[in-house]
């Protein structure tokens, strides 16, 4: 995996620059902020997992699990701090 680079090392893609400007996201996040964002993201994943578990348990308890399909889809998630960014584009 290539090492992440800082904003001072390469110019930002014009589309990303426009996105960040329009949403008021300027500069890089410091390490403490990135840790908080990543912790919150993992918390949301845990919350989702807990609720999927509740759904599956309810299906089992009601006798519907044998003829029910539960489909879960997701996109690729957030940037998780790569290149000091936390949003997907």
Domain boundaries, the chain: 14-84
Q: Residues 40-82: pLDDT tens digits?
A: 888 988 999 999 999 999 999 999 999 999 998 877 666 666 6
15-35 pLDDT, tens digit each? 777 877 887 776 667 778 778
- Where do we find the tokens 């997701």? 74
Q: What is the DSSP letter of 64?
A: -
CA distance 13 to 89: 11
pLDDT of 18 reads: 80
Q: Place 7 in a pLDDT band, splitting at 50, 70 and 90.
A: low
Helices (H), the chain: 14-22, 31-62
Residue 84 pLDDT > 60, yes or no?
no
pLDDT score for 87: 59
- Helix, strand, or coil here: 43? helix
């Amino acid at each position: 995996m290539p090492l992440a680079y800082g904003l001072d090392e390469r110019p930002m893609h014009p589309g990303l620059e426009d996105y960040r400007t329009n949403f008021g996201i300027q500069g890089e996040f410091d390490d403490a902020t990135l840790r908080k964002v990543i912790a919150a993201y993992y918390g949301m994943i845990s919350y989702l997992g807990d609720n999927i578990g509740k759904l599956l348990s309810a299906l089992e308890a009601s006798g519907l699990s044998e003829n029910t399909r539960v489909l879960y889809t997701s996109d690729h998630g957030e940037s998780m701090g790569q290149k000091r960014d936390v949003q997907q584009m």
